[in-house]
Structure 1
């Protein structure tokens, strides 16, 4: 894509009245296809540049989409496609030792939707492509240069692309973040490594599909649920002082990780059963769990950040993907409604920063409870039933999950209220 912004005319010669008419999107995971589709809906041409050589449908384990995230996908016409291949979680329980307590829920919102990350990537890619978004693969960003009329991205294969704005949807290791601010903080490490496995459903014959259990084991936290096909999926959060990226974690043989998990969950029910019966062939190593500290600068000039590149709450929130989706759509609204990139980016940050940082702080607090130790576990067993009985779930999580984006409303009033 190239631009020449000396003219504010569309292809048919008619004035558009919009300073931003084209965008480069760096990153083709979740936020990238969403923002590109929303931009096209807003009348702005967007091309997605992805570092991988092709669409990766096998990366990562499962993730949860909160009601607010699925509602945001409805704005770009992708909500039903996601619902069709997701597992709705109707109920959740928390287990500490022999004590199990049902978690309260919100009235009038749809359930969490569990989906494989690779499946979500495919759905969002297909929706974007159907809408007319172009994807360029094997395009790893190395630099970007701003000019008076646009910004030019430089890729490792020697090619360049130019547009009015550049949007960094390139994840927790964002290159765009460092181009905006060389001193920007990197994603933090929660002290936990993530794994996912599958076992036959008859190991826990009484477990019903659509119920998620959050379990605090003797040494580590884990969670599990039964799929619609009868298999049980379980995820492990293994405490580790050593940070390991996805690539680094996968250098350790799968059998060695399973040995460590079987040792870690040896005293837990059903953790021991889940670890012992996991097949190495279907065992996923996902690497470190990240959490993003507050980023001082979300944008500079013609460049801006969305998704995990700027706000990556830990998986404890159940909101990471949903927040990325929301931000992509809100950024598109701001670029649609405001006269230039500077004012649009400022409004976008006003609308989004307080919300995402508040949710990130909640995730950080939850992370600290995942390794309570023997005394902490005993305290949790006693206090947990009382805590959840007294918890005002509507007050604590209603504002998160009932959040809805009004695509048709102009964004100025919302930005002013947030500012």
Structure 2
């Protein structure tokens, strides 16, 4: 049995924590957010690795609680349906998945408000130092701390930054009952798209906050990809503080909300504009690309967005995280730590590069 510390308590960290605990290891998760991450996500389209990881954890039911879109539709600016594709697809709730994975860990194993500022590896141990000056040691430290990863700098030897792509994803997650009838008739139970000039909106239905699937109890998830040349202005919250990568629900200023709604009136089909207006607290995520040159060093290893940041168009971010967690757990079960980490790196580096490259190609419509 190893003592394993995971820095980052989002889905990548939770997949790894659950799988490694099931393999018999002592796992502690440290999350920088003081309140945890419930309520931070929206909807997602699960891929095969997600189903495999949940099955391994005995949480198959989490993968079955989803809403099926019966077709894909494509809208014109005036709201006319210009195309249809019969492509049934299931969407699940990020929140519901996060909560189900979080419940695998006890409160004493999931530490909130712990912001890692430095990590390192020496001989047969690894360590993490936190903002409050405390330090923990372990047989293995896993960096699951996302795009601004602290552990990454220790693995690759430099504070390498992700590359901003020039656009952001505005997001909303609303009760489906908040949609006006005219919008609901077009959008519900479909995967809808609108592509304009360096702009794209899409939306689909996901389960309610507690996994509700009954019509009227579900939620509508919308995304609007839009250029943002002044990223600092876009990511300034209502107090004026500029955030590095995103603004959570409730952080956007009223003038910024007003500007977004006004832009939507002119640049979105009426159905998507109605969905935007129904969201009282839209949130925003800047879109970045990042590829790590290596995933392991000594007793440190990277998973999820700490290693590779792919654009959301791929719908593979959570699948990539689950795949990393599965591969790392398998490698550690078959070889000593250092050899296992090198085996893991060889397997996942190629996959990570391919997913990021795929995302770049899918995002060319924004250029």
User: What TM-score, normalized to structure 1?
Assistant: 0.73
Check 1:313–1:138 CA distance in 2 against 1; reply closer, same or farther (3 A cut).
same
Check 1:364–1:284 CA distance in 2 against 1; reply closer, same or farther (3 A cut).
same
Per the TM alignment, residue 265 of structure 1 is displaced from its structure 2 partner at its CA by 4.7
Contact 1:38 1:76 in 2 (8 A): yes
- Name the structure 1 match of 2:342: 346
Per the TM alignment, residue 142 of structure 1 is displaced from its structure 2 partner at its CA by 1.8
- Name the structure 2 match of 1:235: 223
Check 1:180–1:78 CA distance in 2 against 1; reply closer, same or farther (3 A cut).
same
- Name the structure 1 match of 2:95: 118
Secondary structure at 1:185's aligned position in 2?
coil
The CA deviation string for residues 111-138 of structure 1, in whole angstroms up to 9 with x for no partner, is 44331x3333222111234xx9821222
Check 1:252–1:54 CA distance in 2 against 1; reply closer, same or farther (3 A cut).
closer
Q: Which consecutive unaligned segments of at least 5 residues does structure 1 have?
A: 1-9, 11-20, 372-419
Picking from 125, 138, 148, the partner of 2:113 is 138
- Name the structure 2 match of 1:165: 140
- Name the structure 2 match of 1:360: 356
Contact 1:34 1:328 in 2 (8 A): yes
Deviates more, 1:117-126 or 1:246-255: 246-255
Deviates more, 1:202-211 or 1:341-350: 202-211
Per the TM alignment, residue 187 of structure 1 is displaced from its structure 2 partner at its CA by 1.9
Contact 2:295 2:302 in 1 (8 A): yes
Aligned pairs, how many? 340
- Which has the higher Rg, Structure 1 or Structure 2? 1
Contact 2:167 2:286 in 1 (8 A): yes
The CA deviation string for residues 271-308 of structure 1, in whole angstroms up to 9 with x for no partner, is 564267334x2x3212312222x211211111010001
Per the TM alignment, residue 220 of structure 1 is displaced from its structure 2 partner at its CA by 2.0
Picking from 295, 298, 302, the partner of 2:295 is 298
- Name the structure 2 match of 1:263: 263
Check 1:24–1:264 CA distance in 2 against 1; reply closer, same or farther (3 A cut).
same
The CA deviation string for residues 201-257 of structure 1, in whole angstroms up to 9 with x for no partner, is 513242364321121135621112345426543221121112245863646514523
The 5 Å alignment of 1:86-97 reads 86-95=66-75, 97=77
Could you tell me how far apart the structure 1 residues matched to 2:200 and 2:341 are? 39
Secondary structure at 2:82's aligned position in 1?
strand
Per the TM alignment, residue 93 of structure 1 is displaced from its structure 2 partner at its CA by 3.1
The 5 Å alignment of 1:7-406 reads 21-84=2-65, 86-95=66-75, 97=77, 100-103=82-85, 105=87, 111-115=89-93, 117-129=94-106, 134-183=109-158, 185-197=160-172, 198=174, 199-207=178-186, 209-218=188-197, 220-226=199-205, 228-229=215-216, 232-244=220-232, 245=235, 248=242, 250=247, 252-270=252-270, 273-274=273-274, 277-279=277-279, 281=280, 283-292=281-290, 294-338=291-335, 340-370=336-366
Contact 1:193 1:286 in 2 (8 A): yes
Could you tell me how far apart the structure 2 residues matched to 1:246 and 1:78 are? 38
Per the TM alignment, residue 167 of structure 1 is displaced from its structure 2 partner at its CA by 0.4
Q: Which consecutive unaligned segments of at least 5 residues does structure 2 have?
A: 207-214
Secondary structure at 1:191's aligned position in 2?
strand
Check 1:212–1:133 CA distance in 2 against 1; reply closer, same or farther (3 A cut).
farther
Could you tell me how far apart the structure 1 residues matched to 2:282 and 2:277 are? 14
Check 1:172–1:161 CA distance in 2 against 1; reply closer, same or farther (3 A cut).
same
Per the TM alignment, residue 96 of structure 1 is displaced from its structure 2 partner at its CA by 5.2
Could you tell me how far apart the structure 1 residues matched to 2:341 and 2:108 are? 22
Contact 1:194 1:287 in 2 (8 A): yes
Secondary structure at 2:9's aligned position in 1?
coil
Higher relative strand content:
2
Could you tell me how far apart the structure 2 residues matched to 1:29 and 1:187 are? 19
Could you tell me how far apart the structure 2 residues matched to 1:231 and 1:61 are? 9
Could you tell me how far apart the structure 1 residues matched to 2:278 and 2:117 are? 40
Check 1:89–1:346 CA distance in 2 against 1; reply closer, same or farther (3 A cut).
farther
